Amino acid sequence: MSLDFTHTDYEKIAFRITRFISENVKSREKKGVVIGLSGGLDSSVCLVLAARALSKSRILGLIMPERGVTPQEDIDHAYEVAEKFKIRHKEIQIDSAKKILLRNLPTDKFSGGNVSARLRMALLFHYAGMENLLVLGTSDKSEIMIGYFTKYGDGAADILPIGELYKTQVRLLANKLGLSNKIANQPSSPRLWKGHVAEKELGLTYDEIDTILEYSLAGDLDKCTLNKAKIKKVMELVRKSSHKRERIPVCDPF
């Protein structure tokens, strides 16, 4: 069982998101946005929406692959979208910088993967600072709620245009926006290590995750007919990742 998001008015959603982007750029007195282009679903959707909101000269796309980790197909998809919308774009390989940083440090798969995400974040904010741009984040509601992002990595941004859309809704929006099926339907992955695939790591599909999250938010989790173990797992992900969504605790010594 999964929820049906097909009847949502995605044209209205696209309009509201494009207005959100343009209003934030204007109100914060920025020249435009910089976005990390992974070639995946979320970043491609965000770029299309940004291109609707702003002129192409006000958008900078950074393609930041890691040799031995990022598939060539992802890089090709990132270039495909960037060139289709004629935005400024740069490719910056991050593997050399990562190797230098980790050369004399203990090896750990997960921590090392997070270094990749944080290097990309640093590059995005570097260009944002140089050119007076907003960092346009690409995290969706599913990833934010279960904490499937790197703290101060891909979770760091100035604005989150699709932060209220579940992954399944982003896929449907991608189809409405005219993105190719190979981008809209490819398996989601933050590419933090070779062969990294989100649903494989999580042990659930995004259809299942989104269904459980929606029932939970509605206060009707007892009506969800999915496997109880899967429900428990998703709710544990939400609980354990709460620190990623909360403000940093500040001690009041007075």
Domain with 68 in it: what CATH number?
3.40.50.620
Q: Assign residue 122 a region: left if phi > 0, alpha if psi is -120 to 50, beta otherwise?
A: alpha
Q: Does any domain span residue 211?
A: no
Q: Does any domain span residue 148?
A: yes
Distances (CA, A) of 206 to 171, 173, 203: 11, 15, 10
Q: Does any domain span residue 1?
A: no
Q: Does any domain span residue 125?
A: yes
Residue-level pLDDT at 3: 63
d(CA 61, CA 127): 10
pLDDT tens-digit map of 19-36: 999 999 999 999 999 999
Domain count, the chain: 1
Distances (CA, A) of 56 to 4, 51, 86, 96, 137: 34, 6, 6, 30, 18
Check if the beta carbon of residue 227 is closer than 8 Å to that of residue 241: no
d(CA 145, CA 106): 30
Letter string b/e over residues 239-251, b meaning 16 or more CB atoms within 10 A of that residue's CB: eebeeeeeeeeee
Domain limits at 180? 10-103+110-196
Residue-level pLDDT at 189: 87
Residue with tokens 């099926």: 181
Q: Does any domain span residue 133?
A: yes
d(CA 8, CA 126): 37
Distances (CA, A) of 249 to 150, 212, 245: 19, 29, 12
Q: Does any domain span residue 144?
A: yes
Spans in the chain with pLDDT lower than 50: none
Kindly give the interhelix angle for 41-53 and 72-84, rounded to the nearest 10 degrees. Answer: 10
Q: Does any domain span residue 149?
A: yes
Q: Does any domain span residue 245?
A: no
Residue-level pLDDT at 7: 79
DSSP state letters, 62-99: EE---TTTS-HHHHHHHHHHHHHTT-EEEE---HHHHH
